[in-house]
Amino acid sequence: MAEAKVDRLYTDHGVSGTLASRPELDKALDRLDRGDTFVVWKLDRLGRNTKNVLEVIEDLIDRGVTFRSLTEQIDLSAGPMGKAMLTILAAFAELERATMIERTRAGLDAAKSQGRVGGRPSKVDAKKLATIKKLLASGEHSRAEIASMTGISQATLYRVISTL
């Protein structure tokens, strides 16, 4: 971005490009004035889908703001040809996102069908679960004591209890 001579850098950390509300993007768009150039690293970071990307860029053009994507090298000053290229690239970005989601879901489904579960391993194994059940059934200990005795947090204990 330094090579692109960017004055201000806005980044929505941990926010998906598919979300409608992205505070830093909104802030950047609000601060633009006529004659400014809005630079993005990649077109797919700009909007949720082709329609959304085109709406954002149309708004920029209407406000007299130049648009530049560093990855795709889009030149909107090329007239209708530039806009056609933008539309095609935005559609491909949407297709790429949809394909990635589809592959991720297929991978998760395949892993699930093989008995694998996502996430980190549970802190409560079969032996610990049996101990928890026994302590609960005895009625002699508070839940805080049971959590302490089994080496788990109270939140984990309550989660285990909710599945019993």
Q: Count structural domains, the chain.
A: 2
pLDDT of residue 117: 79
Answer whether residue 18 shows pLDDT above 80. no
Per the model's pLDDT, the better-predicted residue between 70 and 18 turns out to be: 70
- Tell me the residue range of the domain where 151 lies: 126-163
Whole-model pTM: value is 0.60
Please tell me what DSSP assigns to residue 41. Answer: S
> Two tokens at 2?
């330094």
* Tally of CB atoms within 10 A around 57: 23
> Two tokens at 94?
């949407």
pLDDT of residue 138: 94
CATH number of domain containing 34: 3.40.50.1390
Answer whether residue 139 shows pLDDT above 80. yes
The mean pLDDT value for 81-107 works out to: 91
9 part of a folded domain:
no
Q: 105 and 141 share a domain? A: no
Residue 159 amino acid letter:
R
Q: 30 and 75 share a domain? A: yes
* Tally of CB atoms within 10 A around 6: 13
Q: What is the mean pLDDT of the chain?
A: 87
